[in-house]
Amino acid sequence: MTHPFLSNQENLRAFLQLSAVPTGSVRTWEQLLGWKPGRMQRFLKNAVKYGLAEVVTCKQHSTFRPLQGVAGRSGVMCSVALPNQEQGSGLTESRLRRTVDNCKTQQPGARLLIDAMNRGLKGFDSYLPVSSDNYGSHKAARHWLVQAGIPLEEAVALLYRIVSAFSLEKSGGEYPRSLGYFTKAVLAEWRRIQRDREQLPLIPEMRLEVA
């Protein structure tokens, strides 16, 4: 039985299109469907929310993995699998997840930063949370924590403050797809904080004399 969400013909069209072309990028899918970013993000978020599909992000692409068969326009039930998950291939969901995990180097602390970003953007209904193993986010976290030397606690606080000021209008309707979206702002704010700390004058000790 088709889920009510897919009773909408445009949602059904998108589900079948992404099932047929499961590997690409969110931008590619937008162009394929002729949708704007906000609509695409809402569709993906709802597909995950209703258990209709799994969206996995790897180093160079995203994957749309349908979790149930649906009825096409003709009323015939369709069940589309990923190219490497044909029936009888022996490739399980856990195997797919290991492949995704193995295509990146995990950065300690990155998951806390990703969680802070997702919490800061949860007020946007059409925002699709970034996966905790998102490659670009772990790469950005490494830049912040290792190369720039920002302590994790300060990085989380900095990021949350910057994310809270995020404007969909100023971003051109694009949502962040990794922590890397905020790298420039985080590093600029960290440099400012460092300058302020270095330039902070020493406050002379004040002694009160009691008459």
Give residue-wise pLDDT tens across range 99-121.
235 444 688 888 889 989 988 99
- pLDDT mean across residues, the chain: 77
The count of residues in the chain is 211
Distance CA 188, CA 164 (A): 16
Q: Using alpha carbons, select from 116, 149, 133 the residue that is nearest to residue 59.
A: 133
Which pTM does this prediction carry?
A: 0.54
Pick the CATH number of 4-102 from 3.30.450.20, 1.10.1040.10, 1.10.10.10, 2.30.110.10: 1.10.10.10
Percent of the chain with pLDDT over 70: 75
Beta strands 53-57; 23-24: pairing state: unpaired
Distance CA 116, CA 121 (A): 9
At 87 the pLDDT is 35
pLDDT digits (tens, 9 = 90+) for 16-65: 888 877 877 788 788 878 888 889 889 999 999 989 988 886 656 788 88
Distance CA 13, CA 150 (A): 45
Provide the residue ranges of all domains of the chain, joining segments of one domain with +: 4-102, 110-199
Q: With beta carbons less than 8 A apart as the criterion, state whether 47 and 55 touch.
A: yes
- Tell me what the mean pLDDT of segment 121-146 comes to: 86
Query: For residues 154-175, b (16+ Cβ closer than 10 Å) or e, as one string?
Result: ebbebbeebbeebeeeeeeeeb
- Tell me what the mean pLDDT of segment 176-187 comes to: 93
